[in-house]
Amino acid sequence: MIKPKRLKRGDTIATVSLSWGGAGDKEFRHRYEVGKKRIEEVFGLKVVEMPNSLKGSEYLDKYPEARAEDMMNAFKDKEIKGIFSNIGGQDTLRLHKYMDYDVIKNNPKIFMGYSDTTVNHFMCYKAGLTSFYGPSVLSEFAENVSMHDYTVKWIEKCLFNLDKIGEIESCDYWTSELIRWDKPSYGGIKRRMSREKRGYEMLQGKGKVSGKLIGGCIEVVDWLRGTDLWPDKDAWENRILFLETSEDKPSPDNIRWFFRTYDYMGILDKISGIIIAKPKDEKYYEEYKKEILKVIRDEAKRDDLAILYNMNFGHTAPMCILPYGVEAEIDCENSKFTILESAVSE
């Protein structure tokens, strides 16, 4: 995997709308401006919008080729050092036929987002580029009142720092509360935070296991099966699979079906470990654990597979960043997760 160059203060990053185009809708534009300002003031970066990124949800739904054009041109532009997704959505798959993977491979740079942006990450993975499952502009950068310190810490450590990323500790607090985005005054209402009562939970596993990271939003990952974005079977060997659930809160039955599919495809036989994020609102918290163990331990007979649960990435806040294709370690005896190398180059 190619590691992109690290960000430095003063660098230019581009914002893109690759799925839902809400950043350009009049009722949400203020939210985008808050996120942009935070990127500039907290991290010292210059933000430019790609030409189609703020044309609104109606336009971008009608013209997926415009979204793809923004992504391709952002990679081509030598002045742009990183690309941040404005938000996820539901239909990034429609960009697939407009992609040129040589453009990504030959112009490596930081690319970050989550949720439906999982599709774009698998595009980068196909091109051989390490990308970053992490904050989006409308959500984490535009967090009500101020960004979470935990999120800021991992942005700085993963995107700006050449040292190995190191242990990613559980955050002491979390929230899934949704406060409406369509009224600017609501941005002054801080979301209610819950004290973390559990920390990381080790569902099973012994010793220490390591592997390169791959994964995303579990519902979106499922959409990729059968496409040429899906990695070859051997590409799952010795990988740590990271998965999180969206605001749709899939049922425990769906979680069982997802993991049964991985078993049938032979993926559970090849990976070295799994890390799973806190479910949004902690809905189905215990039910998900039951279904995951039912499939992996009881049906697939992989009671040796390390499974670390309740991590801080994806659709709860705050969040860490997970870089694709970078070596990580699960310490089963101490319920710890560590990224063993830097994800960026000089």
Predicted confidence (pLDDT) per residue in 250-308, tens digit: 999 999 999 999 999 999 999 999 999 999 999 999 999 999 999 999 999 999 999 99
Tens of pLDDT, residues 29-43: 999 999 999 999 999
Residue 73 pLDDT: 98
For the chain, percent of residues with pLDDT exceeding 70: 100
Q: Would you tell me the crossing angle of helices 285-293 and 252-264 to the nearest 10 degrees?
A: 30
Q: How far apart are the first and last CA of the chain?
A: 15
Task: Specify the length of the chain in residues.
Answer: 346
Q: Are residues 154 and 107 in the same domain?
A: yes
Total number of domains constituting the chain = 2
Same domain, 329 and 195: yes
Same domain, 131 and 218: no
Q: Are 326 and 341 in contact (CB under 8 A)?
A: yes
Structural tokens at position 213? 């990271």
CA 152 from chain center: how many Å? 15
Residues of the chain by 3-state class (helix, strand, coil), percent to 5: 40, 20, 40
Would 7 be classed as within a structural domain?
A: no
pLDDT above 90 covers a percentage of the chain that reads 100
Residue 109 pLDDT: 98
73: left (phi over 0), alpha (psi -120 to 50) or beta: alpha
pLDDT band at 131 (very low <50, low <70, confident <90, very high): very high
d(CA 72, CA 62): 18
Q: Are the C-beta atoms of residues 216 and 122 closer than 8 Å to each other?
A: yes
Position 242: which residue type? F
| pTM of full prediction above 0.95 | yes
Look-up of token digits 């479910």:
279
> Does 130 reside within a domain?
yes
Structural domain harbouring 20: 12-164
Question: What value does the mean pLDDT take over residues 311-337?
Answer: 98
**320-335 mean pLDDT:** 98
Instruction: List the CATH number of the domain containing 49.
Output: 3.40.50.10740
**CATH assignment of the domain containing 292:** 3.50.30.60
Asked if 18 and 70 sit in the same domain, the reply is yes
| Residue 326 shares a structural domain with residue 179 | yes
pLDDT at residue 336, rounded to an integer: 98
> What is the pLDDT averaged over residues 233-255?
97
At residue 193, the pLDDT reads 97
- Residue 16 shares a structural domain with residue 158: yes
The predicted structure's pLDDT at residue 112: 99
Is residue 143 located within the same domain as residue 284? no
At residue 89's C-alpha, the angle toward residues 84 and 93, to 5°, is 90
* 250 SS3 class: coil
Tell me the pLDDT tens digit for each residue of 93-105: 999 999 999 999 9
Core vs surface per residue 204-232: b (16+ CB within 10 A) or e = bbeeebbbbbbbbbbbbbebbeeeebeee
Q: Are residues 34 and 144 located together in one domain of the fold?
A: yes
Model confidence over 138-190: pLDDT tens digits?
Answer: 999 999 999 999 999 999 999 999 999 999 999 999 999 999 999 999 999 99
In a domain, 52, yes or no: yes
Q: Kindly report the average pLDDT of the chain as a whole number.
A: 98
Q: For residues 45-62, give the mean pLDDT.
A: 98
Instruction: Choose one of 164, 190, 217: the last residue of a domain.
Output: 164
Is 1 a member of any domain?
no
For residue 68, is it left (φ>0), alpha (ψ between -120 and 50) or beta?
alpha
* DSSP per-residue string spanning 197-220: SS--EEEE--SEEEEEEEEEEHHH
